[in-house]
Amino acid sequence: MTSTREAPGLIADIGGTNVRFALITGHGEPENTRVLKCRDFDGPFGAAESYLGALGGHGRPDRAAFAVASPVAGDTVTMTNHPWSFSIAETRERLGLEALRVVNDFAAVAMAVPYFTDLDRTPVGGGEAAPNEPIAVLGPGTGLGVSALVPAGDDWIPLSTEGGHVTMAAANAREEGVIARLRRTIGHVSAERVISGPGLVNIYQSLCALDGKPPEPNLTPDEVSARAFAAASPRASEALEMFCAMLGTVASNLALSLGARGGVYIAGGIVPKLGRAFAESGFRERFEDKGRFSDFVAAIPTFVVTRELPAFVGLSLLVRAR
């Protein structure tokens, strides 16, 4: 008897540090998830071949959907926080695919939001989502991803944006000091320069410099967070608090710009790991600190996305669309 088993779809969430792969079969749920380091490969083709080669007899995919932490405009994709640059058409051909969809990573996350349950998100602060209103999605990882969902009848349209690169505004003198110091070394200080993994380190090092204290050398973002959690470093603790408050500023600005009365969702690789520390931080207070429009943003709910690999939900939808 000839097998009629449908070929699986390949999905990949490509960030500045890791690339996460999975296969999508008939029922639509990701299987055989693997995480590979981007630095170990020259591009997504090599990473995908390594992933597929390790699976053995699961069948060769005939279609794929990739989410990338960079703009997607035309055939050539150049990563923002990693040296990878690749042609979509060439990658599709080399992988032997009938179709390859490539989208911004946070657009894929945004596509997942309508499918979330209460188990996939944790509220921070008050507010109640208004139906059929825009939804904002953002989150720090290696960079700062920003997207949104705009209602269109019974459907939603995800927006691919580079909102992580808006100019960061200071809300107090201490933040002004941090931003001024960074401006002297890197020029334009975008939100991503402070609200990301490397951004947390930037804040920590800047606070040390402002206070005339030598920073611990070569600290990673996780190490800064660990020192903050353990109350082992006053400047690490302040850096994490400033990070959360600055995220509140950017999230609130985005909510106002979009009129995101459907809610604001915080995803990415950092905030979900902070747990109670984020809920008890100055994030929500800063989010609501909008002068004459404080009541407007106070009515908007904010959520931390707790679902594992939320971009996979959006990618699954794309790869199953024939």
Summarised one tens digit per residue, pLDDT across range 135-170 is: 999 999 999 999 999 999 999 999 999 999 999 999
The answer to the question of residue 249 being in a domain is yes
d(CA 122, CA 109): 16
pTM of the shown model: 0.94
pLDDT in tens, 19-36: 999 999 877 789 999 999
**Whose CA is closest to 14, among 316, 311, 313?**
311
The answer to the question of residue 1 being in a domain is no
Q: Ranked by mean pLDDT, which of 14-18, 29-33, 69-73, 299-303 comes out on top?
A: 299-303
Same domain? For 55 and 157 the reply is no
Quick one: DSSP state of residue 122? E
| CATH classification of the domain holding 194 | 3.40.367.20
Read off the pLDDT band of 266 (50, 70, 90): very high
The answer to the question of residue 258 being in a domain is yes
Same domain? For 66 and 162 the reply is no
Read off the pLDDT band of 2 (50, 70, 90): very low
* pLDDT at residue 320 tops 90: no
pLDDT in tens, 226-248: 999 999 999 999 999 999 999 99
**pLDDT the model gives residue 6:** 78
The answer to the question of residue 277 being in a domain is yes
Same domain? For 163 and 150 the reply is yes
d(CA 135, CA 145): 14
Same domain? For 215 and 182 the reply is yes
Same domain? For 49 and 173 the reply is no
**pLDDT the model gives residue 174:** 98
Name the strand (E) or helix (H) holding 283. helix 283-287
**pLDDT the model gives residue 1:** 36
* pLDDT at residue 56 tops 80: no
**How many domains does the chain divide into?**
2
Same domain? For 83 and 47 the reply is yes
Same domain? For 281 and 158 the reply is yes
Read off the pLDDT band of 57 (50, 70, 90): low
Same domain? For 275 and 314 the reply is no
The answer to the question of residue 4 being in a domain is no
pLDDT average, residue stretch 189-205: 98
Same domain? For 177 and 252 the reply is yes
The answer to the question of residue 195 being in a domain is yes
Same domain? For 286 and 316 the reply is no
Segments forming the whole domain that contains residue 175? 117-306
pLDDT average, residue stretch 252-279: 97
Same domain? For 171 and 235 the reply is yes
Mean pLDDT estimate for the chain: 95
* pLDDT at residue 5 tops 60: no
Same domain? For 95 and 35 the reply is yes
Read off the pLDDT band of 322 (50, 70, 90): low
Q: For residue 23, which amino acid is it?
A: L
The answer to the question of residue 83 being in a domain is yes
**pLDDT the model gives residue 305:** 98
Say how many Å lie between the first and final Cα of the chain, rounded. Answer: 26
d(CA 35, CA 30): 13
